[in-house]
Structure 1
Amino acid sequence: MWITSLPKIVRQEDADQGPYAIIMAPTRELAQQIEEETTKFAKALEIRTVAGIGGLSREEQGFRLRLGCEIVIATPGRLIDVLENRYLVLSRCTYIVLDEADRMIDMGFETEVQKILDFMPVTNQKPDTEEAEDEEKLLANFASKHKYRQTVMFTATMPPAVERLARSYLRRPAIVYIGSVGKPVERVEQMVYLLTESDKRKKLVEILNKGVEPPVIIFVNQKKGADVLAKGLEKMGFNSCTLHGGKGQEQREYALASLKSGAKDILVATDVAGRGIDIRNVSMVINYDMAKSIEDYTHRIGRTGRAGLHGKAVSRSRAA
């Protein structure tokens, strides 16, 4: 709302000062999905957005950034790249959003995130004083062109590293809990089978043969395992595709588009690529390989039971 209240000519004249808002996401897929959703309202409001992600030309993205925009959506690695190569400055950046903050930390982006936050101008930090919390002063500042920086972090879990990041860069933050902290939504029915390594594929095929409504996401722990499983399912007549860090950008986009359009019924994914993806109406998540942590498990099964719908999560635990 504040960005759109500024006259368009003001926004364009200050284009060399960088964007008003930065949205960071841990993976390319999530960054692209955020851009897709942002574009839906940005065009109507004449807000320009640019996505900065790996796998695509840095020079082309840098050219678009230099032309000016109000919102940048990026992964931490590419954002550091364009900042250090001076394709982007953050002189007027007022809003910072960290989506899936816990996943960013898990993927080793803590240093990059801190570095990006250090690129922010110190002039728009809200003073850590009681006076700065005065409601009238806060309202007056909100309408000002030189408003305080606002940092928003979204996280499904709150590990110590995320708490440390919040303490370092947030001033007296308001904390909003949605649902039970660190727990999956109650709309997801969870089932666990005790199976030996040799029996888990047989059980997977049995579940899929029961006529599960697509789309279905199957999580594995290794890239090679994803490819092997998907090929095996294809040979058995199942319509599957893979998504993992070893795939090129075009292959990853094709896999997601195929699942969303209904051209493919099953996505076999690793945590690195699958975390944060938003695919409508996923009826079931299958943990072919059990997640390595409760945080990963929570994020995996969070791909189903979204937007008020019910879903199922099936996991395999190793039998003694």
Structure 2
Amino acid sequence: MAERDWRIFKEDFNIMCKGGRIPNPIRNWDESDLPNDLKEIINRVGYKEPTPIQRQAIPIGLQNRDIIGVAQTGSGKTAAFLLPLLKWIQSLPKIERMEDADSGPYAIILSPTRELAQQIEEETVKFALDLNIRTVAVIGGLSREEQGFKLRQGCEIVIATPGRLIDVLENRYLVLVQCTYVVMDEADKMLNMGFEPDVQKILSYLPASNLKPDNEDAEDSEVLMKNYSSKKKYRQTVMFTATMPPAVERLAKNYLRRPAVVYIGSAGKPAEKTEQIVYMVSDNEKRKKLVSILNSRLDPPIIIFVNQKKGVDVLAKSLEKMGFNATTLHGGKGQEQREFALASLKNGSKDILVATDVAGRGIDIKDVSLVINYDMAKSIEDYTHRIGRTGRAGKTGVAISFLTKDDSFVFYDLKQCLINSPVSHCPPELANHPEAQHKPGLVVQKKRKDETIFLS
């Protein structure tokens, strides 16, 4: 295809790129330069066509480039970083003897939450099992000693939450002396949760000897592919995120070398196929409004977000008393309880999941028809992730939010989301509200009759 054709192809899939020497996207799996056995597994698990992020990120990843991928949740990011990783590991000797584990895994994948880490592990096992590539999940809520035993058995990939990974590193259950592939998934969430010092500490455990040069060579595929099929290749760092706040940009600047940046659609904007509905209510009206909605459109699975753990339990009990089939998920639950709650929603034994923001990021529950923000999210980023639980993988969805006067700090940003959505409508009560006319923290001051300025 000519350059113009590639430009049109990228526009068709909302692919935008920054950075030098970026390869063309793949049009189908046959063009992906992945090994045949990996393509057979892709076909078997039912991935008929690459998603937009996969089309562009996979060919970049196969060149050993550092990548920042900015895409909505449910866009296929896991396979986008996993497939290039598995191709590389296939070229390396397997870690088979216990004593080999002293040199550690070839790759680490960092996740902000246990649930997302386990979801990544499930996805990885789909591909890795037949390739004889082993993974170990290192997460809180499970026995550290048991995880240490699995690590000593040897594995090629470790999938971890930052806190527990530091724990096993400090206790010498694990070393990273031959780790040359690092993935940070949901990087914005990780930093929002205060994990930036932990991420920096983990990266300090990696050898400095495999760092890419911080010059144009870090964009040159020929230079980057030297020693590719060995443990001595340049370290590859991949960061996936749904939004690009300053903290993520700072982390990328410190730890990625000349990364290719791939944007799918508009970074941080809610899915265009999700209809967003807003109701302005008082606190006393919420419960009655919720019951009315559930009675009229109970098409499970449904996720209801509440901000406080106690509020989750109280609302779920109330719904159960009214005959609704609900379960709960929040940070106060044990790991087994959290896993059971998610499994109950996925297998259909429960219709409704009442949850805090623990369920707001990265968790993939198929065909969620409706998301309800019983309590409005504390930021527009959290709102974006919450409503990203529905309308996934090309399907349509509905997100309903209850707004009270106490949520005025998010009125302006929410109004912009609704105005910019092709399938949503901004109600007059929000559109005309004084707090929705400018960003919070800005003082509107009249200078003259015909001029208004904004001061921070």
Same fold flag (TM > 0.5): yes
Q: Which residue of 2 aligns with 1:300?
A: 386
1:68 corresponds in structure 2 to 154
Alignment map for 1:191-202 (pairs within 5 Å): 191-202=277-288
**What is aligned with 2:104?**
18
Give the match for residue 257 of structure 1: 343
| Contact residue 27 and residue 273 of structure 1 kept, 8 A | no
Give matches, 1:49-64, under 5 Å: 49-64=135-150
- Offset, 1:161: 1.0
Cα deviation, 1:180-206, whole Å, max 9, x if unaligned, reads 111011010000001111111111101
Q: What's the TM-score, normalizing by structure 2?
A: 0.68
The verdict on how the C-alpha distance between 1:169 and 1:274 changes in structure 2, with shifts beyond 3 A counting, is same
Please tell me whether the aligned partners of residues 245 and 273 of structure 1 are also in contact (alpha carbons under 8 angstroms).
Answer: no
Q: Identify the residue that residue 309 of structure 1 maps to in structure 2.
A: 395
Cα gap change, 1:208 to 1:161, in 2 (>3 Å): same
Matches within 5 A, 1:15-164: 15-164=101-250
Contact 2:216 2:258 in 1 (8 A): no
| 8 Å contact from structure 1 (residues 77, 112) kept in 2 | yes
Relative distance call for 1:294 and 1:127 in structure 2 (3 A) is same
Aligned match of 2:296 in 189, 210, 230? 210
1:223 maps to amino acid: K
TM-score (norm 1): 0.96
Check if 1:272 corresponds to 2:326. Answer: no
Deviations 1:144-164 (A, max 9, x none): 431011111111111111111
- What do residues 287-312 of structure 1 show as CA deviations (whole Å, max 9, x unaligned)? 00000101000000001111111100
CA distance in 2, matches of 1:136, 1:307: 35
- Determine which of 246, 253, 259 is the counterpart of 1:167: 253
Instruction: Measure, in 2, the Cα distance between the counterparts of 1:75 and 1:30.
Output: 9
Check the 8 A contact 2:92/2:229 in 1, yes or no: no
- Specify the SS of the correspondent of 1:166: helix
| Structure 2: unaligned runs, 5 residues or longer | 1-86, 407-456
Deviations 1:36-68 (A, max 9, x none): 111111110000100011111000001111111
Where do 5+ consecutive residues of structure 1 fail to align?
Answer: none
Q: Which amino acid aligns with 1:150?
A: Q
1:247 equivalent among 326, 333, 347: 333
SS at match of 2:225: helix
In structure 2, the residue corresponding to 1:43 is in which secondary structure? helix
Out of 257, 269, 275, the position equivalent to 1:189 is 275
Identity %: 76
- 1:12 CA drift (Å): 7.8
2:287 equivalent to 1:287: no
AA aligned to 2:163 is G
RMSD: 1.6
Structure 1 residue runs of 4 or more that deviate by more than 3 Å after TM superposition: 7-15, 131-135
Q: Partner amino acid for 1:216?
A: I
Greater Rg over alpha carbons, structure: 2
Separation (CA, whole Å) in 2 of partners of 1:9 and 1:76: 24
Q: Does the 8 Å contact 2:309/2:331 carry over to 1?
A: yes
**Partner deviation per Cα, 1:129-175 (whole Å, 9 max, x = no partner):** 23454332223342343101111111111111111111110111110
Deviation track 1:104-148 (CA, whole Å, cap 9, x = no partner) reads 111111110110011111011001123454332223342343101
| Alignment check: 8 A CA contact 1:282 1:303 kept | yes
Shift of 1:13: 7.5
Number of aligned residue pairs: 320
Rounded to whole Å, the distance in 2 between the matches of 1:269 and 1:119 is 35
